[in-house]
Structure 1
């Protein structure tokens, strides 16, 4: 079988863009959904053999100039929460209708909405594979910046949209001191880049599937593109050297696809202003395809 032949069990994919930048400090991440679409996501999904590809367009996100920053420790939180509620409703409807959601960010704060929608649709939290350089589990009190894209996993766990015992983080290499204890207390399994170097990505992903999976389409992957080394994914607002290689990132998605447990994908923190020839968005499209079952042979 050649690399161009089609083999996928996914019949329908629903694309939702969320041009959110209120959770981050660097401008431009709101253009992430457009960059991924420009990289021909819809066309490549159809070429792969997925007959039903429904692009629902972008959710409306108030611009920074019109949004109230909010005086608390989580900047713009009421506005972000409102957008996430709309995203949750969209995700719930798609999943109940048999679709496979592919969410395009936008900054990582949108994960709160995605995870809420999955929980509401299925009656229990999804298993979560969180690929990221950062753990994103700060509380409003431990965060030094007040940026909500560093807090979504904490909010998701707090509100029951995710469970620590079925959440795995992969690729960590920049974790705040306060977050380390929060991770331990929450029961989240974390694989740092050091762990991946020692164990290898195959072993890490096999353990990840074992922890997160609970049947067909029971797992969500929330993929922050800064999880990948900036030499491969330069278009992201908080790059950290020493990240996943191109092949490690694809292997992670391929193993999730082969396991049969993956039910939704979220790609976030793509910033075209910081990118080089749309390299990061093109890589994101390739990773989505790997997660849906595309393989070399």
Structure 2
């Protein structure tokens, strides 16, 4: 094979150091084989967002930010150097038909879970509307699913005023019979970010709601311990839906719905690490990042960091 001086393959680390490997280099395109462990699926949909959003750009940006992280976890002394993370690519969205987009999300997720039944998918949104399709497919594949939702918002809006959107995924899942309300735990719900009508809907349907006041008073890990213990009594597996706007605007400037009074990044990272170790989590989505609004990709960097902490600490036996 002929070579050209000073050329190197694209999409690698910008600076080559023999002692460092970047987390982004662990991403390996799916070859069609049966995959177990964690796999990444991009879902670049943002046209269903109530507010302006460029969240369709987030999957590729998060992948790119993985190249800012190394494979060495200094706290544990564990190096992921020789490992790989299967990247299934992105679900192709229809240009104009939003119902078709949501149908494709469910169909693609269902097909992947059927072909790779022991794979733990990490769905990179996209806005939060993607969760309606991913969790519907997940519940069909795995049975009764318990959901831990980190979010500033209930996402239980009615479907009459605007149709399916990033404000309706959990309403859709409940009304379409994929979950009952008592299978859903919401953590981080904030003051002045929701309507009383939707808090009442949550209460009437048995949804467990922990506000940010609860997080501050009780602690995130205690809440997770209580929630996971209760969900595992009646649910077969757990799914985590991480809306990055659960974070205070200081930690997630790239969220379309930024706001004060939210969680700090240390608390969220600690919670996600605990879930990776103890939660029996078999599915995860990370949603609501708009790279066009972000500052120095702070929010996407944090999402990539959380993804790698989840991967490094993940226990398939939990």
TM-score range, shorter chain: 0.7 to 0.9
Q: 1:20 aligns with which of 45, 48, 57?
A: 45
> Is 1:167 equivalent to 2:184 in the alignment?
yes
Aligned counterpart, 2:83:
51
The answer to whether residue 175 in structure 2 is matched with residue 158 in structure 1 is: yes
Q: Which secondary structure does the structure 2 equivalent of 1:140 belong to?
A: coil
Asked if 1 retains the 8 angstrom alpha-carbon contact of 2:61 and 2:291, the reply is yes
Please say which of residues 162-171 and 145-154 is displaced more in the overlay. Answer: 145-154
Q: How far does residue 81 in structure 1 lie from its aligned partner after superposition? A: 2.9
Aligned-partner Cα distance in 2 for 1:49–1:217: 33
Change (3 A) 1:94 1:245: farther
* C-alpha contact 2:144 2:235 (8 A) present in aligned 1: no
Q: How many residues align?
A: 272
Query: Hey, what's the Cα distance between the residues in 2 that align with 1:95 and 1:164?
Result: 28
Residue 180 (str. 1) matches residue 199 (str. 2) = yes
**Given the alignment of the two structures, is residue 81 of structure 1 paired with residue 98 of structure 2, yes or no?**
no
Tell me the equivalent position of 1:200. 219
Q: Distance in 2 between matches of 1:132 and 1:50?
A: 34
Find the aligned partners of 2:71 and 2:234 in 1 and give their Cα distance.
Answer: 24
Misfit runs of 4+, over 4 Å: 41-47, 214-217
Note the residue ranges of structure 2 that are not aligned, 5 or more in a row. 1-34, 73-78
Instruction: Check the 8 A contact 2:152/2:188 in 1, yes or no.
Output: yes
TM-score by length of 2: 0.78
Task: Determine if the alignment matches structure 1 residue 253 to structure 2 residue 272.
Answer: yes
Aligned residue among 45, 49, 62 for 1:36: 62
2: CA distance, partners of 1:27 / 1:40? 22
Deviations 1:235-258 (A, max 9, x none): 111112111111110111122122
Deviates more, 1:154-163 or 1:126-135: 154-163
More helix by share: 1
SS at match of 1:150: coil
Match of 2:146 in 1: 127
* CA deviation after TM superposition for structure 1 residue 202, in Å: 2.0
1:57-103 CA-to-partner distances (Å, cap 9, x unmatched) read 1111123xxx15xxxxxxx4x2343233223324422551x111010
Any stretches of 5+ residues in structure 1 without a counterpart?
1-9, 69-75
User: Is the 1:92–1:120 contact (alpha carbons within 8 Å) kept by the matching residues of 2?
Assistant: no
Q: 1:200 Cα deviation (Å)? A: 1.4
Q: Is the 8 A contact 2:183 2:235 kept in 1?
A: no
Cα drift, residue 213 of structure 1: 2.6
Q: With structure 1 as the length reference, what TM-score do the two structures score?
A: 0.83
Compared CA separation, residues 42 and 85, structure 1 to 2 (3 A): farther
Taking the aligned partners of 2:82 and 2:220, their CA distance within structure 1 comes to 28
CA RMSD of aligned residues (A): 2.7
